[in-house]
């Protein structure tokens, strides 16, 4: 375990230089936990509760990659990824700048949805 915060209710104070007035609660929690790791080229692996395309883009801007399961109901998930019905061994992906959202269906499980750092040219591909 890297870090933990004892949550004492909605008045819990999170302090980090990476939080601005418009940072949502989930992003605030993540940024405060990983502040010492930011801007060092690290990769964070996160579950779907603490993951979103907007936060992935924010982390990438702080030289930190983000990989993990993504809930398709999150804001800013590309419509094509949300709506595409997949057959076995099929995938769909869309990227915007430094972030890719990938959905695939393997042989044994239902759809798998991930958010990944994009390492190609930032001007390539479709925008989210």
User: For the segment 9-66, what is each residue's pLDDT rounded down to a tens digit?
Assistant: 778 878 788 888 788 888 888 898 899 999 999 999 888 888 888 899 999 999 999 8
Q: CA-CA distance, 42 to 60, in Å (whole number)?
A: 10
Query: Roughly how many angstroms between the first and final C-alpha of the chain, as a whole number?
Result: 33
Q: CA-CA distance, 96 to 104, in Å (whole number)?
A: 18
| Domain presence at residue 97 | yes
| Domain presence at residue 50 | yes
Q: Which pLDDT score is estimated for 121?
A: 46
Domains in the chain, number: 1
| Domain presence at residue 105 | yes
pTM, rounded to two decimals: 0.78
Q: Which pLDDT score is estimated for 43?
A: 92
| Domain presence at residue 109 | yes
CA dihedral 58, 43, 126, 26 (to 10 degrees): -40
| Domain presence at residue 96 | yes
């Amino acid at each position: 375990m890297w870090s933990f915060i004892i949550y004492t209710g909605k008045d819990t104070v999170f302090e980090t230089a990476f939080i601005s007035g418009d940072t949502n609660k989930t992003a605030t929690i993540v940024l405060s936990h990983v502040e010492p790791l930011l801007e060092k080229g690290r990769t964070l692996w996160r579950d779907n509760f603490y993951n979103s395309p907007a936060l992935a883009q924010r982390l990438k801007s702080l030289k930190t990659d983000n990989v993990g399961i993504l809930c398709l109901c999150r804001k800013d998930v590309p419509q094509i990824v949300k709506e595409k019905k997949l057959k076995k061994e099929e995938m769909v992906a869309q990227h915007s700048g430094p972030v890719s959202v990938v959905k695939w269906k393997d042989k044994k499980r239902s759809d798998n949805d991930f958010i990944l750092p994009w390492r190609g040219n930032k001007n390539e591909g479709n925008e989210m």
